[in-house]
């Protein structure tokens, strides 16, 4: 009997968490946050952004995972960027047309966007969309990442990007100011 009570309570909690009202609130958003994060630094910025705005999310996942070994990953990334390689993705946003604004989060790899982000941009028609990049880096800033985004999404409006050194604390005030400057935060 105790088991049945626990099971009923758990099912009730799950049904409330997945209620149509909560799913509908997210589904009505015209903003999409797309994220590629390997170490969690860029995800931390993403989480801070999502605490401030209403957006649906999509994580960029490669079909073939990257090596776990840091040195091997660095060499693989460098080679892919040099070869302009775009890996196959698991991620596909089928209804990309419904979004007006796409926030695009990524780490800087060799002064550029990572190849999976290039794949995402090449695989999705972002014509007429407002793109808002945010990135983490190891000290070199945005590098040529915004120029690469412009090349892969030439018919999009690209707003002011946000960049933070990976692993550093980013203040909520900095994120608020950036979101407000781009018209994404109600004043």
- Report how far apart, in Å, the C-alpha atoms of 174 and of each of 32, 91, 161 are: 21, 30, 12
- Topology of the domain covering 29-181: Rossmann fold (3.40.50)
Bridge partners, 158 (sequence order): 131
Strands (E), the chain: 31-35, 56-59, 101-107, 130-137, 157-158, 162-165
Domain residue ranges in the chain: 29-181
Structure tokens at 143: 């590098």
Q: Can you tell me which residue has the tokens 């776990």?
A: 68
pLDDT (tens digit, 0 to 9) for every residue of the chain, 187 residues total? 333 332 333 322 323 333 222 223 344 689 999 999 999 999 999 999 999 999 999 999 999 999 999 899 999 999 999 999 999 999 899 999 999 999 999 999 999 999 999 999 999 999 999 999 999 999 999 999 999 999 999 999 999 999 999 878 888 999 999 999 999 986 4
| Model confidence pTM above 0.95 | no
- Report how far apart, in Å, the C-alpha atoms of 92 and of each of 37, 48, 55, 61, 118 are: 16, 24, 17, 9, 13
Q: How far apart are CA 171 and CA 153, in angstroms?
A: 30
**What pLDDT, on the 0 to 100 scale, is given for residue 132?**
98
């Amino acid at each position: 009997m105790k088991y049945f009570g626990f099971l009923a309570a758990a099912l009730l909690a799950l049904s409330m968490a997945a209620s149509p009202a909560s799913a509908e609130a997210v589904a009505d958003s015209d903003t999409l946050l797309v994220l590629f994060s390997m170490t969690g630094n860029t995800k931390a910025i993403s989480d801070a952004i999502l605490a401030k705005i209403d957006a649906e999310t999509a994580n960029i996942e490669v079909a073939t995972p990257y090596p776990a070994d840091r040195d091997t990953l660095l060499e693989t990334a460098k080679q892919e960027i040099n070869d302009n390689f775009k890996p196959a993705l698991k991620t596909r946003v089928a209804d990309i047309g419904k979004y007006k604004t796409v926030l695009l989060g990524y780490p800087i790899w060799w002064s550029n966007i990572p190849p999976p982000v290039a794949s995402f941009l090449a695989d999705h028609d972002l014509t007429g969309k407002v793109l808002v990049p945010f990135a983490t880096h190891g000290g070199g800033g945005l590098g040529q990442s915004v120029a690469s985004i412009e090349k892969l999404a030439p018919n999009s409006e690209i707003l002011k990007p946000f960049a933070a050194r990976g692993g550093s604390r980013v203040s909520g005030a900095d994120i608020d100011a950036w979101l407000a400057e781009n018209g994404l935060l109600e004043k």
